[in-house]
Chain A
Amino acid sequence: MSRITLKNVTKEFVTRGGHRVTAVDNFNLEIQEGECFSFLGPSGCGKTTTLRMIAGFEDLTEGEIWLGDKPVSVKSKNLYVPPEERGLGMVFQAFAVWPHLNVFENVAFPLRVKKTPRDELRERVMTALGHTDLQGAEKAYPSDLSGGQQQRIALARAIVTNPRVMLLDEPLSNLDPKLRESMRFEIKALQKKFNFTIIFVTHDQSEAMALSDRMLVMDLGKIIQTGTPREMYQNPANKFVYGFLGLSNFLRVRVRDGRVFPAEGTIQPIPFELPQGVSDGEGLLASRPNEIGLSRTEGTGYPGRIEKRLYMTFCIEYHVNIAGQVIRVHTPHGNVLPEGCGCFVQFRNPRWYAGESEQVELERIERQVI
């Protein structure tokens, strides 16, 4: 029942200026029962629009959405089930707890709508409040409570009807970092207890990776890649996913005769096995700062110069100049190299990507404004 299927889902908006924007472009996805699935992407990528179409707040321009065996939005048949009949739970970024109702009444609202008998209502609300650590606060008003507690009210309100699918729209981004981490675990624990399917929308890659069984990365309305967090991190499909899933350096390089050079006129190639089918021309060599070795021993890598050294909490960061381009390198505390000295850089797990046009970058910025 809690499988979610999206087929060819497309959503177009007409902006105030009058031109059409495809917010979500031919989105196909199947989310399994009990799965925790994340939509990850920068703002304006279409992830929230997709979630709102699943919730029923937006109609589709094309395509269909199924909850289990039940179609809820089928454009070709003009079928559209309003949000209140979809039987979902949802938690919003701004909590959306009702300020004129106290905690008990906030959580009781979904049951009151369904005209649940009084005793049962009371029992279920108290259970939900227990699960979210809100016992004793039922008479308080939201304005008396902290952000974390307000988000717990929203969670309790979402689970009180025991929905099979839970939609989470950046529920943690209004919380401070410490609280965010503990709420992550609480959501995971609730899922284990009630075994609902989660769709989690976020722009925070570490949140997505920590929480999800599977995830996808969206950009400019399209799904770029779908997979488990591990697959995605280890094998990003393009430069965008690589850059989105962690810290990264992109070294502009030239390919000549199957060898990779950091700049025109440099004689020494970077030791790197190019993927098949890459012809001569320009490209990007992607690397993660913590996957680069740094030493002063001749012959251990590509020569460079340390321009700057910064002490950070988990590592030391070096800014290393390689043939005119600067990359960031993270090494553990301990072995310290001085600023200004020559060094040798070893890329342990570099990847090669074709460059991205400026056009794409501009479009991304434009969509954020809309």
Chain B
Amino acid sequence: MKFFLTSMFGKETSRGDRRFGLDRIVFLLSLFILIVTVLMPMLMIVVRTFFKGTQPDWALFTRVVLAPENLSAIYNTVKIGFLVTLFGTVLGLFYAWLIGRSDIPMKGLMKALFTIPYMFPPFFGAMAWSLLLAPRSGYMNKWFMQLTGSTAPLLDINSIGGIVFVETCYYFPFVFLQVVSALERMDPTLEESARIAGAGQWYVIRKITLPLVLPAIAAGAMLILISSISHFGVPAILGFSNNIFTLPTKIYQLINRSAGSFDGIREGAALSILLVGVVVAALYIQRLVLKTGHYDIIKGKSMRPMLIKLRGAKIPLLGISLLSLFVIVVVPLFMIFIVGFLKAYGLPLTLQNLTLRNYEYILGQSKMVRDSIVNSLFLSVASGVITMFLGVMIAYVVIKVKPRGKGFLEMLSLLPYSIPGLVLAIGVILVWSGAFGINLYNTIWIILIAYIARYVSFAMKSASASLEQVHYSLEEAARSCGATHLESLRDITIPLIRPGMIAGFFLIFLPAMRELTTSVLLYGPFTRTLGVAIYAINSEGNTVQASALATVAIGIIIAGHFALRYVTRDRKGI
């Protein structure tokens, strides 16, 4: 490692001025943190899978991969991922077109509703939908059976179809937001010139609009695919009872069943490599699709695109959109909210069955829940602050300092973006449970390290976006006025990117607050997080208390979003 570092910076001193001291420290520090938190866990997974002690050992990997139950998990993972991507893309495209190019009313409201699935973790949705559509106990199925006298449920959410449905509800905004923003930035004259050339509306959509937003569609679809493949919460809540396993839930089961035994973790590591392999394959496919290149479609003066008149279809389409948004967004939130006040799960939803007892229990009596809230607040704030500063450091090095090796640094910081949270957790366990003389297992610090690794990509992207807007000349102007390098950073650059930094903090705080996938493998007896607590209470069958706690989490998340909006309310370009 030492040789590697010196060879990387050997020639760097030719720059020779004093600023190199500070910049070099920043570079080395961020590189060190990334190597420890991101690279080492990944390497340890590979090492532990293919080596037993110091002996190469391929047997474990082949055995794990060829085990029939694991093969069926792979099949389920790919099947669910493919279907979610397909439906999510179609849904996202439809809404994006409706909002970006048609004259449908209430666009503002719809856009606001579309961002809601973004705010909440999909496993809340899984909980809510099983409240409604669990085969025997779900309210909707019970109503259906009462009304029709049927003994079979209307729909069974504990199925592949149910998992696909819930994940689609939460992941279609990826395509929607990508495409809507592409449509809004697209030069309207590209479409207008096709109209002038004699092409009708549908011809223009097929031959001009769609091909031009294809990169945006592909990017959004790939986000859906990767998210779905590495997703844990929904298949865990909906699949376990019917023995439907995906790779992430299989890994969780392996580790959980082994109760910390080394062989169990090794098997989990082997499956993780498989999971990463599936993700890499997906990314490779994206590369192939995007090979046609990225078009520069943003040009010219901004003008409102010509909106397509829906005429007679306007009201039906509006009805369909609002109804589906209602089902996707409002219904699950309402269910969680109302069930949180129920005396017992399964009671009819009437006034006399409502109570505040669940809240009393979770906020007052249960030490586990109170601990989990404190833990999550601590973890979210700490990882938010640390990761945000780490992101700024990395972005500063990559954008402003540009040393040799910046590509490696950038790659390391973006790597966690495509690594499933569960895989990261296994890697962190392998590194921090004594392999290098430090044992953090069952402490809160191991979760903090995992969060930092998990969210560093967000922080880095958000910090780059603000740093790129700070032109060199601003810092140079400060230097020419006599400020030192440190002073120009402190007085010019940092104040200019401060709004971006605060926004970056919330971009980590909010997902960390509801994190489940990573924490579920890392928590110890006293280090449950909010997500873990909700998940645990729910799987113990205490549905009403889980719903109440989920409502509390929703409250915290909404408050966080308002804070984020307040911070970014009049953020202007620099």
Contacts and interface: CB of A to CB of B under 8 A. Distances in A.
Given A98-B208, A98-B212, A84 B193 contact: no
Nearest to B300: A94
Given A57-B306, A113-B203, A94 B196 contact: no
Nearest to A83: B195
A83 B301 contact: no
A96 B187 CA distance: 8
B211 interface: yes
A94 B300 CA distance: 5
Nearest to B187: A94
Contacts of B327: none
Given A57-B306, A99-B212, A113-B203, A90 B198 contact: no
A324 B563 CA distance: 58
Contacts of B192: 55, 57, 83, 90, 92, 96
A157 interface: yes
Contacts of B292: 100
B196 A90 contact: yes
A113 B300 contact: no
Category for how many chain A residues contact B: 20 to 34
Interface string B274-307: 0000000000000000001001110111000010
Interface in B176-211: 187, 189-190, 192-200, 203, 207-208, 211
A109 B197 contact: yes
A94 B211 CA distance: 19
Contacts of A98: 190, 193-194, 208, 212
Contacts of A110: 197-199
B298 to A, nearest CB: 10
Contacts of B295: 99-100, 143
Interface residues of B, number: 25
Nearest to B212: A100
A161 B189 contact: no
Contact of A94 (B194, B207, B301, B306): B301
B210 to A, nearest CB: 10
Contacts of B203: 113
B199 A92 contact: no
Contacts of A95: 299
A84 B306 contact: no
A84 B212 contact: no
A90 B193 contact: yes
Contacts of B190: 96, 98
B301 A93 contact: yes
Interface in A112-134: 113-114
A88 interface: yes
Contacts, number: 78
B193 A157 contact: yes
A215 interface: no
Contacts of A99: 212, 295-297
Nearest to B194: A109
A127 B208 CA distance: 24
A154 interface: yes
User: Which of B192, B195, B196, B207 gathers most chain A CB within 10 Å?
Assistant: B196
A303 interface: no
A84 B189 contact: no
Given A57-B192, A99-B212, A100-B212, A94 B200 contact: no
B489 to A, nearest CB: 36
A55 B198 CA distance: 12
A246 interface: no
A94 B299 contact: yes
Nearest to B214: A100
A179 B192 CA distance: 25
Contact of B196 (A89, A100, A114): A89
Nearest to A108: B197
B195 A82 contact: yes
Nearest to A154: B193
Contacts of B196: 55, 83-84, 86, 88-90, 158, 167
A83 B203 CA distance: 13
A55 B194 CA distance: 12
Contacts of A161: 197-198
Contacts of B189: 92-94, 96
Contacts of A154: 193
Contacts of B301: 93-94
Contacts of A143: 295-296
Given A98-B208, A99-B295, A100-B292, A84 B195 contact: yes
User: Which of B193, B207, B297, B306 gathers most chain A CB within 10 Å?
Assistant: B193
A88 B192 CA distance: 12
A154 B189 CA distance: 11
Nearest to A93: B300
Contacts of A85: 198
Nearest to A85: B198
B212 A92 contact: no
Contact of A84 (B187, B198, B297): B198
A92 B193 contact: yes
A359 to B, nearest CB: 27
A49 to B, nearest CB: 10
B211 A92 contact: no
A55 to B, nearest CB: 6
B212 to A, nearest CB: 6
B198 A113 contact: yes
Contacts of B193: 90, 92, 96, 98, 154, 157
B199 A113 contact: yes
A154 to B, nearest CB: 7
Contacts of B197: 84, 109-110, 113, 157, 161
Contacts of A89: 196
Contacts of A88: 196
A84 B199 contact: yes
A57 B308 CA distance: 11
A96 B188 CA distance: 9
Contacts of A109: 194, 197, 199, 207
Contacts of A157: 193, 197
A366 B16 CA distance: 52
Nearest to B190: A96
Nearest to B199: A113
Contacts of A82: 195, 200
A85 B193 CA distance: 13
A84 B296 CA distance: 25
User: Which of B187, B190, B200, B212 gathers most chain A CB within 10 Å?
Assistant: B190
B312 to A, nearest CB: 16
B300 A92 contact: yes
The 6 closest A-B pairs by CB, nearest first: A94-B300, A110-B197, A96-B189, A99-B295, A92-B189, A96-B193
Interface of A: 55-57, 82-90, 92-96, 98-100, 109-110, 113-114, 143, 154, 157-158, 161, 167
Interface of B: 187, 189-190, 192-200, 203, 207-208, 211-212, 292, 295-297, 299-301, 306
Given A84-B200, A94-B300, A98-B193, 8 more contacts: A92-B189, A93-B300, A96-B189, A96-B192, A98-B212, A99-B296, A110-B198, A167-B196
12 contacts: A55-B196, A82-B195, A84-B196, A94-B300, A96-B193, A96-B300, A99-B297, A109-B207, A110-B199, A154-B193, A157-B193, A167-B196
